[in-house]
Amino acid sequence: MNSPFSTSTLAQGDQSAGDLCLANAQLVLPDQVLTGALTIENGVITDITEGDAVPTGAVDCRADLVLPGLVELHTDNLERHIEPRPSVDWPHLPALIAHDAELASTGITTVFDAMRVGSIHGGKGRYIDYARTLADELLAARAAGLFKISHFLHLRAEICSETLLEELAAFGTEDRVGIVSLMDHTPGQRQFRDLDVLKTYVAKKRGMTDAEFADHVQNLLGLQDRFGARHEAGAVTEAARLGAVLASHDDTTPDHVATSAGNGVGFAEFPTTPEAAEACRTHDIAVMMGAPNLIRGGSHSGNVAAEDLAKADLLDIVSSDYVPSALLLSAFRLATLWNDLPRAIATVTSNPAKAARLTDRGALRAGLRGDVLRVHHSGAAHLLRGVWSRGLRAS
């Protein structure tokens, strides 16, 4: 399938572009680290030269690392800004701008903002339809040039809901939805195989009593029974209509992965077991894991550790998930684990860009977007000293 995200369409909403030369830097290229200078003109990388010379007007990086801007495929961070506490609806435009600035400050220069589609009405377990309205506000802010970095839409299709297909139908190809992920949070399987883990999660988030939680579980099981198969098939069809990359979520068994492959899934978000990750390899599905899992040394839900998958050569992409600053940190954690900095940086740059069918970013190469980071490294510390989006300072 051809990508809806050609270089020309990506320029829409990114009205500004700048010129920049970062010199005397350790450039992290796809296959090596090179002492040299990188030049950006009109927002595009035009030249990479070797050596420690600092031309007139260039930024002397003093041997700091220069990396491609980070590409984030799945973050819940926007939802945290629009609902900072349960049932607190924060004004959306200020929330969008604050979210954008926070991501820029962590080195993320491209983000697919995850929004839930699929509502549940009634009870403490309810979810309200918000994605269409929020997407309109995000797209308007992007068109007005209010963002520091590039934003795209990621629709989290909640299979276990009442209104999924109606909400998906409200989106069209003009929205340039980048990703549709299939979410099945039915209790007793995938992420929430352990009901005690689910209870801890929802009780803390929604303040449910034991009786309310029991009703919530039964309601979700009923929704799965009524809508599950139709919603999954419909979401796959809608993703194709929108021209979006399809992602799976929390695959647990080889059978889950085989179904994902049959649906045309391009990458797997957070497989929960080594067996599922191995099956993804068999089906040529890229594996994405969460940076918090990697940094903490394990999953907060008790699922497979990202580090174990990395050691088994079963990790392709890292997502910040719910901690934006964890993305850059996780890349350096992998660099130590693999003893290979370019390979580690690829998990947060070129690999996610490829998975999302973005062909104009994700690496330091002439002709690609001037999305770059300057990182000072001193022992175990890695300090972000500059973030540029299309050659313009973003942080």
Asked whether the predicted pLDDT for residue 51 surpasses 90, the reply is yes
* Structure letter (DSSP) for residue 373: E
What pTM value is reported for the model? 0.89
**Residue 323 identity:** V
Asked whether the predicted pLDDT for residue 328 surpasses 70, the reply is yes
pLDDT tier, 298 (very low <50, low <70, confident <90, very high otherwise): confident
Asked whether the predicted pLDDT for residue 5 surpasses 60, the reply is no
SS3 of residue 126 by DSSP: coil
- Helical ranges in the chain per DSSP H: 7-10, 77-82, 92-105, 131-143, 164-169, 195-206, 210-242, 254-263, 274-282, 291-296, 306-311, 326-338, 341-346, 350-355
Mean pLDDT, to the nearest integer, of 187-196? 61
- Encode burial over 95-110: b for 16+ CB neighbours within 10 A, e otherwise: bbeebbebbbebbbbb
**Of 154-163, 212-221, 234-243, the least confident:** 212-221
Output the six-digit token pair for 179: 């990703």
In angstroms, how far is the first alpha carbon of the chain from the final one? 35
CA–CA gap between residue 221 and residue 337 (Å, rounded)? 41
Handedness of CA 380, 385, 391, 395 (dihedral sign): positive
More confident residue, 271 or 89: 271
CATH architecture of 7-393: Alpha-Beta Barrel (3.20)
Tens digit of pLDDT for each residue in 145-156? 999 999 999 999
Mean pLDDT, to the nearest integer, of 66-71? 98
Tens digit of pLDDT for each residue in 101-125? 999 999 999 999 999 998 876 555 5
More confident residue, 64 or 123: 64
In sequence order, the 6+-apart residues with CB closer than 8 A to the CB of 219 are: 120, 123, 125
Q: Name the nearest CA neighbour of 347 among 317, 324, 319, 320.
A: 317
Q: What integer best gives the mean pLDDT of the chain?
A: 90
Mean pLDDT, to the nearest integer, of 265-288? 97
Asked whether the predicted pLDDT for residue 364 surpasses 80, the reply is yes
CA–CA gap between residue 306 and residue 295 (Å, rounded)? 9
pLDDT for 2: 41
**Residue 238 identity:** E
Asked whether the predicted pLDDT for residue 351 surpasses 90, the reply is yes
pLDDT for 126: 56
Asked whether the predicted pLDDT for residue 8 surpasses 50, the reply is no
**Residue 292 identity:** P
Query: For residue 362, how far is the Cα from the chain centroid?
Result: 13
Asked whether the predicted pLDDT for residue 278 surpasses 90, the reply is yes
In sequence order, the 6+-apart residues with CB closer than 8 A to the CB of 2 are: none
pLDDT for 199: 58
Q: Name the nearest CA neighbour of 80 among 95, 67, 65, 94.
A: 95
Asked whether the predicted pLDDT for residue 352 surpasses 90, the reply is yes
Enumerate the domain spans of the chain. 7-393
Angle formed at CA 242 by CA 237 and CA 244, multiple of 5 degrees:
90
SS3 of residue 295 by DSSP: helix
Handedness of CA 317, 320, 324, 326 (dihedral sign): negative
pLDDT tier, 210 (very low <50, low <70, confident <90, very high otherwise): confident
CA–CA gap between residue 111 and residue 358 (Å, rounded)? 12
pLDDT for 7: 37
Backbone angles phi, psi at 341, to 5 degrees: -65, -45
CA–CA gap between residue 197 and residue 186 (Å, rounded)? 13
